[in-house]
Structure 1
Amino acid sequence: MTVAATVLVVAVLVAASSIVLGQIPLSHLLDRRHHEEFIDVGGLDALTGIVVIGLIAIVLACALSLVATRRVVAPLVDALARQRRFVADASHELRTPLAVLDARLQVLERSLAPQDAHRRIVGELRADSRALIAVVADLLDAVDVASPGRQPPVELAPIIEVVVSSMRMLGQDRGVRVTAGAVAPDVRVPVPETSLQRALVAVIDNAVKNSTAGQAVEVTVVAERSRVRIAVRDHGPGIRGIPPERVFDRFAHAGGPIPGSPGAGSRPGFGIGLSLVQDTAGRAGGWVEVTDTSPAGTTITIALPRARRG
């Protein structure tokens, strides 16, 4: 389309030049005595005409390109919308039967005696069902993203408090402590509250799953002049079997939780969770990255713009 527009502009300019030059007698072009006259008078008129016609051609070419681009993009937008609706509908349809399946497995597991040989198998089935439920939840989160655009700023401190409190209960069940440092009350970020909560839950949950029992997951917030950095540190074995930057890819798989960790027995990899964190930060003008990973632990940092007061 760009080539067609360029050809159109060149064609109009050539045609305009031919028309203007055609008005000048050939004898005047060849006669040196007429050169000054046409340069001062006729040449200026010709140049003005060429410029005006060229501008008109450029405007027409831009309009043509805009119309053609819209016609090309419209089917892609429609296809993406239909794909998102399908994923959302399918995920909603799967959520209920999977929840029922997990509930029945839970009842079965509780009915078995601790020494029953089938208890381990039922426990593995429950872990698989929870993994499927988590995948469905990730798919729903993937299609339930906030519309891009300017978002009203929210205070970070109460959101950190709510998320850490809920994740602290989850960590206690898994033998992992979740702690958070103090956050100044005037720190605000331009991210929807639900999206920010979901992103923090995903990062902290990932840290808990990859921590060994008895260790701690630490959440710290550093407020700079124009940016806020939220760091989540675990004391697990570090990221293994995959480049650190790839943990934010959808359904990325690493080495999996270490034996005896809270995540052992659950689905390996990072699902869509950390990918959604990257999407959330990116829409706000920030980013997320693995700032440190080693056998002593991993730190994932979410960097977000700091909203101004007023």
Structure 2
Amino acid sequence: MTHDLLNRIDQRTRLAGHNRLALLLFRLGGRQLFGVNVFKVQEVLRRPTLFQVPGLPSQFSGVADVRGRSIPVLDLGMAIGHPERLENDANAPGYLVVTEFNRSLQGFLVSGVERIVNIAVEDIHPPPETGSESSHLTAVTRFADELIQVIDVESVLADIAQLRTDTTLDPALSLPEGCPPLHVLVVDDSRVARQQIRSVLDQLGVQTTLLSDGRQALDHLLQIHASGEDPGQRYAMVISDIEMPAMDGYTLTTEIRRHPALSSLYVLLHTSLSGVFNNAMIERVGANAFVAKYSPHELAEHLLLRLNEVAHALMAEA
């Protein structure tokens, strides 16, 4: 892992909106190649000394002191049940991938780091259907004739923590009495994130359509328009992640604003990229609002700003 490679991580995070996905490639022991979205990566270090902390789940190897910050370190191979992972003893080689998402720092222990690559969106594909809700893959692709499995790190952590997606909202966070039915389009490649957002909207009494990437969402909206229906009448708003493989949220928002039949849609970008989030890009693509992941109460407050507006307009027309 060269110093030059580490210096290029920040540069790669500027790819959003250009129909390419930047992946940090690594191995967890054995030949299988894995990837994680570079947007989430802060830095990569050789495996540091790890300190034990009582009460950590067994998938965690300990805590690392990185520039004065205590970062929990997850043995990623163990967490996803990778059959070829190296045993994580004190003498094992490895690297620490330090990430920032959902407003927190998290370290992932891997056996080896390969490189950063840029993959065209047409070469990114959904993971294979396994019939399991606990899949930790968000996409698959290929590089230099090797299969790359792209890991949904939020899903990995959520499964370990047995994260609940049905957090109860404050009763004061509600739509007006007599509100007509409202419908929201949710676009996120993370299974956990989709369920979290749906839980909030369910409690507000709002119907949801859940899609897993920006390309799918754009095609869906254009199909509604082609059928003769106004997408702006069907959906009170669109909630979109930013870092998605097939089409990122910046590009989705740009395409919505470019199309006359879609341009009036209200778009809220909802992302875990607190460390590299670019306010100038949000303004440039024309999103209406932004909320960092993940606080259900904060998300509900932002949703209600728009949903109350739509509800009052519909009630006034009735």
Larger Rg: 1
| TM-score after normalising by structure 1 | 0.24
Structure with the higher strand share, 1 or 2 = 2
Tell which has more relative contact order, 1 or 2 (C-alpha 8 A, sep 6+): 2
